[in-house]
A = this chain, B = another copy of it.
Amino acid sequence: MATIYDVSQLAGVSLATVSRVINKNTNVGEKTRQKVLVAMEKLGYRPNTFAQSLASSCSNSVGVLVSQLDGPYYGPMMAEIEAALRAENKHVIIAVGHSDANQEKDSVEFLLDRGCDALILDVEAVSDEYLIDLSKGPTTIVLINRYIEQISERCIYLENELGGYMATKHLLSLGHRHIAYISGPAKKHDAIERLVGHKRALSELNIEFDPKLCFEGDYREEGGVDGMTYLLTQRQHKPFTAVVCANDQMVSGAISVCLERGMRIPQDLSFVGYDNIPFARYVSPKLTTVNNPIHEMGKMAALWLLKNLYNKNVEVNNVFMPELIERESSIST
Q: Which residues from chain B contact A230 at a C-beta distance below 8 Å?
A: none
For window 28-53 of A, CB contacts with B under 8 Å fall at 46-51, 53
A74 CB-CB contact with B under 8 Å? yes
A46/B96 in contact, CB under 8 A: no
B94/A110 in contact, CB under 8 A: no
**How many copies, total?**
2
A86 CB-CB contact with B under 8 Å? yes
Given the interface pairs A49-B115, A256-B284, A282-B253, the reply to whether A96 lies near B82 with Cβ below 8 Å is: yes
In the assembled complex, the CB of A228 is this many whole angstroms from the nearest CB of chain B, namely 11
Please tell me which one of the listed residues B50, B68, B95, B255 contacts residue A59 in the complex, with CB atoms under 8 A apart: B50
A22 CB-CB contact with B under 8 Å? no
Q: Which residues from chain B contact A48 at a C-beta distance below 8 Å?
A: 54, 115
For window 65-84 of A, CB contacts with B under 8 Å fall at 68-72, 74-76, 78-79, 82-83
In the assembled complex, the CB of A107 is this many whole angstroms from the nearest CB of chain B, namely 8
A145 CB-CB contact with B under 8 Å? no
A79/B50 in contact, CB under 8 A: no
A295 CB-CB contact with B under 8 Å? yes
Q: Which residues from chain B contact A95 at a C-beta distance below 8 Å?
A: 82, 86, 91
Expressed in whole angstroms, the Cα–Cα distance for A278 and B73 within the complex equals: 13
Given the interface pairs A50-B50, A115-B48, A282-B253, the reply to whether A110 lies near B86 with Cβ below 8 Å is: yes
A119 CB-CB contact with B under 8 Å? no
B284/A259 in contact, CB under 8 A: yes
Please tell me which one of the listed residues B50, B252, B256 contacts residue A54 in the complex, with CB atoms under 8 A apart: B50
**Nearest B residue to A111, CB-CB:** B91
A279 CB-CB contact with B under 8 Å? yes
Q: Which residues from chain B contact A49 at a C-beta distance below 8 Å?
A: 113-115
A92 CB-CB contact with B under 8 Å? yes
- Ordered by A's residue number, 11 sampled pairs between the chains whose C-beta atoms are within 8 Å are A49-B113, A49-B115, A50-B53, A61-B114, A68-B79, A70-B78, A70-B79, A75-B75, A92-B94, A221-B278, A279-B279
Closest 7 CB pairs of A and B: A69-B79, A70-B75, A50-B53, A70-B76, A50-B54, A252-B282, A69-B78
Give me the interface of A with B, judged by CB distance under 8 Å. Answer: 46-51, 53-54, 59, 61, 68-72, 74-76, 78-79, 82-83, 86, 91-96, 110, 112-115, 221, 252-253, 255-256, 259, 278-279, 281-284, 286, 295
